Amino acid sequence: MQRGVVGDLTKFPDLVDDGLIDNTASLLRAARAAAMPVVHCTAAFRADRAGSFTDNCPFIVHLLKDPGHMLEGTPAVEVLPQLWDDGDLESRRYHGFSPFTGTTLDRRLRAMGVTHLIAAGVSLNLGIPGLALEAVNLGYHVTVATDAVAGVPREYAQAVMKHTISLLATRRTTADLVAAIKER
């Protein structure tokens, strides 16, 4: 959840769903208090686009009509300040929409002994289903925080939760997840 995606520098204001940021912040506070690792899966482009596929996806072609979109080193790629803590980890990718392929995320999680992921963020259009599918393929158990994710339009996001995420992951509200984390 980066400033250029759902924050003050967003180009996607429709993704900023009611409660998305507050619910995510609540979930992250509970995870940190329970000494659970928090990993922010972020995206960026280099100015020269090295390491990025720039013409294989209509959405990316459209995004990159703005040459300054989500450039490495700019405020747009920063994690929202209210979601970041100095003990958090970041896994950055320079291509695609999902966090595992072509990154060290899987190795980092396995090195920490992680077997279950709680997903929050954006979007239900691409990122969350991609994360869930890749994680399941890699053997992780996945839970999606139902009120800490968003997609557009809202009706489509609800359909993705019902017809796709439900096949890949457990779905729970942030309140349920926070209570479960506190009980462990």
What pLDDT, on the 0 to 100 scale, is given for residue 31?
A: 98
Lowest mean pLDDT among 3-12, 62-71, 143-152, 173-182: 62-71
The whole-model pTM stands at 0.93
Q: What is the mean pLDDT of the chain?
A: 94
Range of the domain at 63: 3-183
Number of domains within the chain: 1
Give residue-wise pLDDT tens across range 18-33: 799 999 999 999 999 9
* 33: CATH: 3.40.50.850
CB-count burial class (<10 Å; 0-12, 13-18, 19+) for 98: buried
* E-state strands within 75-140: 89-93, 116-122
Taking residues 44-52, what's their average pLDDT? 85
What pLDDT, on the 0 to 100 scale, is given for residue 34?
A: 98
Give residue-wise pLDDT tens across range 85-124: 999 999 999 988 899 998 999 999 999 999 999 999 999 9
CA gap 167, 71 in Å, rounded: 35
